[in-house]
């Protein structure tokens, strides 16, 4: 069982107006762990991820990253977001910048690297996601899978200590999903700590240390993939898994 230490989410609750979208959510990750969040649409998966980098504000509970309270009013949110990379379903690349330009932007503007150093770092990360031959391509010249790999390289270029992925393959044509999952598996092999929302159950089964099933803002069940997928303890989990299988 994975636990605590590195990322600790404790009894996190969040409301949008009167609607409670997270209800005392708790789970923990060690450094190098991969945790996959699953659950039906609207169950709070994206909101949970967004609370970790303060794109959404949890009203109750605690989230510690490397011992620091993320939810504290004293937290430097810009620093937090430098340390926590995020990959979204939509790639959100700048159309007027090349692949290397998109990836170099953060290192240049946020980390203050020189233009050459930022470009070198961007090139390294694009090579890491298999795009060494597309450095100077514009987003419109790339497939969706390639664009998402640029999105991953962009997050990696900030040298985050935690990566959040919010349905990174959901916007892709089926034939392009594999190349993105392949890159993500490479990051797992490199020891990256990853919190991933995905419906790709074979990916979850292969790489997750723990799977967390959210429904209606609550953790219904969590456990290693072989347990959660093969021997779910809750009917609710079994029904969800049947439906998406
Ligand atoms: P999931 O990612 O599991 O589909 P979300 O975290 O996106 O779920 O949404 C959980 C609930 O919170 C949904 O009922 C959704 O409508 C609501 N919600 C999400 N974002 C907002 C927002 N910015 N304002 C109001 N309600 C929101
Ligand atoms: Mg979502």
Q: What ipTM was reported for this prediction?
A: 0.98
Question: CB burial class (10 A; 0-12, 13-18, 19+) of residue 245?
Answer: exposed
* Residue 45 pLDDT > 70: yes
Ligand 1 atom closest to residue 48's alpha carbon, by position in its atom list: 6
The pLDDT of 92-110, averaged and rounded, is 97
Question: CB burial class (10 A; 0-12, 13-18, 19+) of residue 12?
Answer: buried
* Residue 3 pLDDT > 60: no
pLDDT at 1: 43
Say if strands 68-69 and 60-65 run parallel, antiparallel, or are unpaired: antiparallel
As a whole number, the mean pLDDT across the chain is 96
Distance CA 139, CA 234 (A): 44
Q: Which of 14, 16, 58, 220 to mutate to test the pocket of ligand 1 (most atoms within 8 A of CB)?
A: 16
Taking CA atoms only, the protein residue closest to ligand 1 atom 6 is: 44
pLDDT-derived band of residue 2, with 50, 70 and 90 as boundaries?
very low
Bridge partners, 155 (sequence order): none
Taking CA atoms only, the protein residue closest to ligand 1 atom 19 is: 47
Taking CA atoms only, the protein residue closest to ligand 1 atom 14 is: 42
Taking CA atoms only, the protein residue closest to ligand 1 atom 24 is: 16
Distance CA 144, CA 166 (A): 16
Q: Which of 21, 39, 218 to mutate to test the pocket of ligand 1 (most atoms within 8 A of CB)?
A: 21
pLDDT at 70: 98
Distance CA 138, CA 118 (A): 18
User: What beta strand segments (E) does the chain contain?
Assistant: 7-16, 19-29, 34-38, 60-65, 68-69, 84-87, 162-166, 194-197, 210-215, 218-223
Write phi, then psi, for 154 (nearest 5 degrees).
-60, -45
Distance CA 215, CA 143 (A): 33
Centre of ligand 2 from the C-alpha of residue 121, in Å: 30
Ligand 1 atom closest to residue 43's alpha carbon, by position in its atom list: 3
The pLDDT of 72-98, averaged and rounded, is 96
pTM: 0.96
Contact call for residues 34 and 41 (beta carbons, < 8 A):
no
Centre of ligand 1 from the C-alpha of residue 138, in Å: 32
Write phi, then psi, for 37 (nearest 5 degrees).
-100, 125
Distance CA 125, CA 151 (A): 10
The pLDDT of 144-150, averaged and rounded, is 98
| Long-range contacts from 62-70, C-beta under 8 angstroms, 24+ separation | 62/8, 62/9, 62/10, 62/11, 62/12, 63/7, 63/8, 63/9, 63/10, 63/12, 64/7, 64/8, 64/10, 65/6, 65/7, 65/161, 65/162, 66/6, 66/161
* Residue 131 pLDDT > 80: yes
Distance CA 12, CA 221 (A): 16
Ligand 1 atom closest to residue 44's alpha carbon, by position in its atom list: 6
pLDDT at 5: 85
List residues near ligand 1 (CB under 6 A): 16, 21, 39, 41-47
pLDDT at 4: 54
* Residue 96 pLDDT > 50: yes
pLDDT-derived band of residue 245, with 50, 70 and 90 as boundaries?
confident
Ligand 1 atom closest to residue 47's alpha carbon, by position in its atom list: 6
Altogether, the residues listed in the chain come to a count of 245
Taking CA atoms only, the protein residue closest to ligand 1 atom 7 is: 46
Bridge partners, 162 (sequence order): 84
- Closest by alpha carbon to 209, among 8, 70, 31? 31
Centre of ligand 1 from the C-alpha of residue 152, in Å: 24
């Amino acid at each position: 069982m994975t636990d605590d230490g590195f990322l600790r989410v404790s009894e996190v609750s969040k409301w949008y107006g009167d609607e409670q979208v997270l209800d005392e959510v708790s789970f923990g990750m060690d450094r190098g762990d991969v945790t996959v969040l699953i659950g039906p649409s609207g169950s709070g998966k994206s909101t949970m991820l967004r609370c970790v980098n303060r794109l959404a504000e949890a009203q109750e509970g605690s989230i510690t990253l490397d011992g620091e309270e993320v939810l504290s009013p004293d937290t430097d949110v810009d620093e937090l977001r430098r340390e926590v990379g995020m990959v979204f379903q939509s790639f959100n690349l700048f159309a007027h910048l090349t692949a290397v330009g998109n990836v170099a932007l953060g290192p240049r503007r946020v980390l203050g690297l020189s233009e050459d150093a930022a470009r070198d770092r961007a090139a390294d990360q694009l090579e890491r996601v298999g795009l060494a031959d597309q450095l100077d391509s514009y987003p419109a010249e790339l497939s969706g899978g390639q664009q998402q790999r640029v999105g991953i390289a962009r997050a990696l270029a900030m040298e985050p200590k935690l990566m959040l992925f919010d349905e990174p393959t959901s916007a892709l044509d089926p034939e392009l999903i594999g190349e993105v999952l392949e890159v993500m598996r490479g990051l797992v092999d490199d020891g990256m700590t990853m919190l991933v929302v995905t419906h790709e159950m074979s990916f979850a089964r292969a790489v997750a240390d723990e799977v967390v099933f959210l429904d209606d803002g609550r953790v219904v069940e969590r456990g290693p993939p072989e347990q959660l997928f093969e021997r779910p303890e809750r009917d609710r989990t079994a029904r969800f898994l049947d439906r998406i299988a």
